[in-house]
Amino acid sequence: MDWIYYVIIGLVAVLFLLMGYFARQLLANQQIRITQNEAKKLLESAQVKYEQMVLDAKEEAVKVRAASEADSRERRYELQRLERRSSQREERLERKLEALDRREQGLIGREKEIDTVRAQVEEVKERQLQRLEEVSGMSSDEAKQQLLNNVEGEIKEDASRRVREWEVRFKDEIDNIARDILATTIQRCATDVVSATTVSMVPLPSDDMKGRLIGREGRNIRALEQATGVDLIIDDTPESVTISSFDPIRREVARVALTNLILDGRIHPARIEEVVEKARTEVESTIRLEGEQASRKAGVQGLHPELVRLLGRLKFRTSYGQNVLTHSLEVSYIAGMLAAEIGANVTLAKRSALLHDIGKAVDHEVEGPHALIGANLVKQWDKSAEVVQAISEHHGEATTTSSLGFILATADQISGSRLGARRESLDQYIKRIEALENVASSFPGVEKAFAIQAGREVRIIVKPDQVDDLAAMRLARDIVKKIEETLEYPGQIKVTVMREVRAVDYAK
């Protein structure tokens, strides 16, 4: 029975298997049909797209072909234009070549004519040379020899002139070395001293003080003038009184005394005499103090007290508007630097320079030039013979023989000749500049003349329509010659002639 059960189970299993197989076949066939339908749809869509792409490609090909044909036409037109231009250029070149050929033929003919004329000129030259030899009585060799002799003479003259120029140049170089030393000294001497004017004027608090100074019947002013030895000028000048005296010390005493009286307010003859005595003592103390300070500033030690006092008196002395004590200090600085530059005794140079104008402290009391007066004063209290000799030599009153005298004279000239140091030097400087410009302006064709660099150069502007380039060179030489003949000047003066042509027009 069991085998029937197994057979039935097997048949059932086979049946299920067959059913599963047929079911898969049905599903597979259905899937195949679906896939075929999708494939057909894709094929149809691809066919449509293909046809559209073919149409687009044909349209693009048409456009490309049209553009290509247009470009081809433009290129053909450009080629034709270039061919026409090339042909035109060839024609022009051919015409130019023909013209050059004709010109060459003409030049060949002209050259032959020139050769013919040249031969004729040479022939005429030979005949003229023979004629000159007959007239002069010299052969060409003799004429050449004479020309060489003339040239030799000119060369000798030029050589002599060159030798003189070298001599002048060497002298200028030596002068330049000396100027360098002086310039170095001047540059190291930094001073603010300029031309000063001593005016003894005492300010008043009010014009009412003038009446008190005069006093009853003028007794106060007479007492003050007798006590000080000055003239008291009381005029219409508002709130001020002027003191006049040839002696600068008396003028200073009167100024101090008058200032103290005005401050004190008690003005009567007895009080005036008392205040004047105190003013004398005060001025004397100031004089000694100024002398001691000057010797310390200059670095000069061991001066006699009387020399210190005389040196202090120079504080109230002026020369051409320049304060003498300040000038003496400046000369001492410069002399010391000059002595150091040339290797001289610096101490003696500074000592003699500080005392060189000490004679001006008493020159209104003693007859004679201040250099010799100062030398005699220094000789009494200073035992250095070199210092005394240098002081006596610095203005040429004695024969200059010592190097110290040269140094002192040079330093004195540097201090006194600086522009602005003295009023008279400024006036002379202006006159020299004006004379220089006037000399340059006196020549015809000169439009303007300017003296520059403190008179060491003159620049002349000439009229270009009247003076050409060669005339400008001659004008420079003529101006130099006239300056040398008519003017006195230190060193050398450079003359520059400028000629300028300007063309000016206006756009309207």
Residue the block writes with tokens 């008196």: 313
pLDDT at 279: 87
pLDDT at residue 254 tops 60 = yes
3-state secondary structure 359-390: HHHCCCCCCCCHHHHHHHHHHHHCCCHHHHHH
Q: Which residues contact 487 (CB under 8 A, 6 or more apart)?
A: 432, 435, 436, 439
Mean pLDDT check: name the lowest of 72-81, 349-358, 460-469, 487-496.
487-496
Instruction: In whole angstroms, give the CA distance from residue 408 to residue 414.
Output: 10
Answer with the residue of higher pLDDT: 334 or 186: 334
Tell me the pLDDT tens digit for each residue of 372-388. 888 888 888 877 888 88
For the domain 201-417, what is the CATH code?
Answer: 1.10.3210
- CATH 3.30.300.20, the chain: domain bounds: 430-498
| pLDDT, mean over the chain | 79
Q: How confident is the model at residue 181 (pLDDT cuts 50, 70, 90)?
A: low
Which residue type occupies 474? R
What local confidence, expressed as pLDDT, does residue 190 receive? 46
- Which two three-digit tokens encode residue 62? 């048409």
What pLDDT is attached to residue 192?
Answer: 46
Higher-confidence position of 1 and 222: 222
Provide φ and ψ at 461, rounded to 5°: -105, 120
For domain 430-498, give the fold. GMP Synthetase; Chain A, domain 3 (3.30.300)
Q: Facing residues of 496 across strands? A: 459
- Kindly tell me the sign of the dihedral angle through the C-alpha atoms of 282, 283, 288, 292: positive
Q: Is pLDDT of 158 > 60?
A: yes
Q: Band of the pLDDT at 459, cuts 50, 70, 90?
A: very high
Half-sphere exposure of 501 (CA within 13 A, CB side): 6
**Position with higher pLDDT, 478 vs 4:** 478
Q: What is the pLDDT of residue 424?
A: 45
Contacts of 400 (CB under 8 A, 6+ apart): 393, 406, 409
Q: Which two tokens stand for residue 435?
A: 């004379």
Dist. CA 505–CA 508, nearest whole Å: 10
Render pLDDT for 290-306 as a digit per residue (tens, 0 to 9).
888 888 888 888 888 88
Looking at residue 462, its pLDDT comes to 92
Is the confidence at residue 193, as pLDDT, over 50? no
Residue spans in the chain of domains classed CATH 1.10.3210: 201-417
DSSP helix, strand, coil percent of the chain (3-state; round to 5)? 75, 5, 20
Q: What pLDDT score was predicted for residue 493? A: 83
pLDDT at 139 over 70: no
**316 DSSP assignment:** G
Which whole number is the average pLDDT over 400-422?
70
Q: What integer pLDDT is reported at residue 401 of this predicted model? A: 65
Contacts for 254 with CB less than 8 Å, ≥ 6 apart: 200, 224, 228, 230, 232, 243, 245, 276, 279
Beta pairing class for 494-498 and 457-462: parallel
Query: Looking at the predicted structure, is the pLDDT value of residue 427 above 50?
Result: yes
Q: What number is the average pLDDT over the span 55-78? A: 85
For 78, the token pair is: 């450009």
Residue 287 has pLDDT above 80, yes or no: yes
Percent of the chain with pLDDT over 90: 3
The predicted model gives 10-38 an average pLDDT of 80
* Confidence at residue 48, expressed as pLDDT on a 0 to 100 scale: 82
Q: Round to whole Å and give the CA distance between 179 and 173.
A: 10
Residue 288: name the closest of 262, 310, 265, 261 by CA: 310
